[in-house]
Amino acid sequence: FCREAHPSTRASQATSFPSQISGIYGAVVMMQCRHFPHCKYMPNHVREKIAGLKRGGNSAPTHMVHMDRASHSGGTNGRQQYWADSARQLGLIDTDRGVRFKSEQLQLPSPSIVPKPHVSPDLAPSSSSPSMPSIALPTSIDHLVQQSNLVHLDDKDLVPDYLFLAMAQMKPCHLTEEDKVGCYKTRSIGFRGMCCKHCGGQPGFGKYFPATVRSLAQTTTSQTILKHIGTKCRMCPEEVRNAVNALLHEAHKEGAVPPTKPPPCKNSPEARPRYGSRKVFFQRVWGRLHGEHVPDLPAQPEEKPQEELSSMNSTYERASSSDDDTVTDSPHYDDTEDECESHHSHEFKHSIPSPYHHSPSRKKRRMYLQ
């Protein structure tokens, strides 16, 4: 009844995508419990028939009564089997890519015909789009991020490009009564969250209400958003979807750097994102989402002070001199712990240490006695 309506106006659990035929029964039960009571597009007479079936009445049509009796004949197992058998009669089968119609499966190339070394699952979705690599270039995705209320182009260096582009497809939203399902039951009405700006999403599927900035920055949240933009959202522009998938695929390929290529400089663009920048990115997103303070961008790593460098050099020189079995006379120490060690060494030169006195190692003892 609401399949033609805009996704943002549908009640929760309007659509479901079970990964196996055995999961269809659970998806139907969830739809009956969460969607049917709140669907404003469902006619009243249909709603009354469903209520009559639940009460075991005979006011429903014969084929609906037969369906209900068949689903209740064997308890839970009987209901699951009914939906599984009905799905197979419609031509649905289980595949490695989820539930598909058998006619679609016959059109796919057979693994025995296409050698596995020449077919990559990651490249399969992008093989029909030759223009994807040019779209996915980091210098050509800026126009896909325009007019985003959650991310700005200044945030681009904080996270990988694929995550940056996927987060740019989110927009702020507020929690409604229909959104209070699952882990969002305890959220108050009007709580701020984010949803897909193309389809509006459903709670947990393109619409998210993280309670804290820490939950927003979790990897599971990022992966769910990437999956929604890259594969699930049917209203996402093809250009955006291809760019996200190509950038993600490119990031996996760059996991192994060719040995002939030197490692990038610490301050070069190739070295981004820096350690800790992901946390700053989501803090900035959280600030814009909730109208709070937006943290500043992290500064470039500063060089160590000259005093610290000189101290490190002197430490290295002392270590080198120790390797040569030489001891410097009257060294100057600024650190309190070093003063203590120097004092104990000086005592050892002129007195025999007691068994209760912490003495240097045997190698250093020979050095001092010389």
**Per-residue model confidence as pLDDT tens digits over 300-337:** 644 434 444 444 444 444 444 444 443 334 333 344 33
Overall size of the chain counted in residues: 370
Q: Label residue 201 left, alpha or beta by phi (over 0 means left) and psi (-120 to 50 means alpha).
A: left
Which of 13-27, 32-46, 321-335 is the most confident on average? 32-46
Least confident of 95-109, 315-329, 348-362: 315-329
CA nearest neighbour of 274 among 256, 296, 238, 301: 301
pLDDT at position 210: 93
Which of 4-13, 101-110, 206-215 is the most confident on average? 206-215
Phi, psi of 206 (to 5 degrees): 95, 0
CA nearest neighbour of 179 among 154, 205, 157: 205
State yes or no: pLDDT of 43 exceeds 60.
yes
Express as a percent the part of the chain with pLDDT over 90.
17
Alpha helix (H) residue ranges in 228-335: 238-253, 277-290, 306-323
State yes or no: pLDDT of 242 exceeds 80.
yes
The 10s digit of each residue's pLDDT in 130-139 is 344 444 444 5
Specify the DSSP element, H or E, that contains 78: helix 75-89
DSSP state of 327: -
pLDDT at position 303: 43
CB–CB of 87/98 below 8 Å?
Answer: no
> Strand order of the sheet with strand 170-174?
170-174, 192-196, 206-208, 202-203
The 10s digit of each residue's pLDDT in 171-220 is 999 999 888 888 888 899 999 999 999 998 888 889 999 999 999 998 88
Distance, CA of 155 to chain centre: 17
C-alpha triplet 327, 331, 335: angle, nearest 5°: 125
State yes or no: pLDDT of 295 exceeds 70.
yes
State yes or no: pLDDT of 349 exceeds 70.
no
User: Across-strand partners of 95?
Assistant: 98
For the chain, strand residue ranges (E) read: 92-95, 98-101, 170-174, 192-196, 202-203, 206-208
Give the residue carrying structure tokens 């490119």: 250
CB–CB of 226/208 below 8 Å?
Answer: no
Distances (CA, A) of 362 to 183, 337, 355, 366: 64, 21, 14, 6
Residue ranges covered by each domain of the chain: 7-108, 132-258+266-290, 324-369
Please report the sign of the dihedral spanned by the C-alpha atoms of residue 232, residue 236, residue 239, residue 243: negative
> Distance between CA 158 and CA 218 in Å, rounded?
15
Phi, psi of 98 (to 5 degrees): 100, -165
